[in-house]
Amino acid sequence: MKRKLSKILFLVLGVAGIFILLNLSVTTRQGIDHKLYYIKIPLYLKTLDFFDRYYNYRELVKRIVQGTNNDEEKVMRIFSWTHNNIRKAPKELPIVDDHVWHIIVRGYGVNDQFHDVFTALCNIAGIDAFFL
């Protein structure tokens, strides 16, 4: 009986500890029109956002490079997709800089954000890419 009670107590304390940990406040950053904002969110939300972006990147890249035979074809498909799907940001809209996935979802960006999208998708496809 004592052993069963200690297992239940351990389980309850473990669940409570995980709940407390996941509700810790963490910071994410977002740039809007060249001004940096710090946004406090719970750790569980930041973690869920990470996995959401990660799996969306993978699925998008899988669709873009489907049927390619080599890295050169993949790069050209990713380049073409970026060129066809990310538009130049209209002047009247704010410049928002947070995560590359949000640029893809918005469908527009400024010059360096085009490079961000292209290099991120190349890296997800297993091709080393970066920009200076």
Q: Does the model's pTM come out above 0.85?
A: no
Domain-located, residue 131: no
Range of the domain at 18: 2-124
Residue 125 — pLDDT band, cuts 50, 70, 90? very high
52 in a domain, yes or no? yes
Residue-wise pLDDT for 8-60, tens only, equals: 888 888 888 988 988 999 999 999 998 999 999 999 999 999 999 999 999 99
Residue 130 belongs to a domain: no
What does the DSSP 8-state code read for residue 39?
A: E
Name the nearest CA neighbour of 39 among 99, 115, 127.
99
Distance CA(98)–CA(126), nearest Å, equals: 23
Distance in angstroms (rounded) separating the CA atoms of residues 77 and 83: 10
64 located within any domain: yes
* Across 15-19, 23-27, 66-70, 128-132, least confident range: 128-132
Residue 90 domain-assigned? Answer: yes
Q: Is residue 132 part of a domain?
A: no
- Number of domains the chain is built from: 1
Burial of 88 (0-12, 13-18, 19+ CB in 10 A): exposed
Residue 68 within any structural domain of the chain: yes
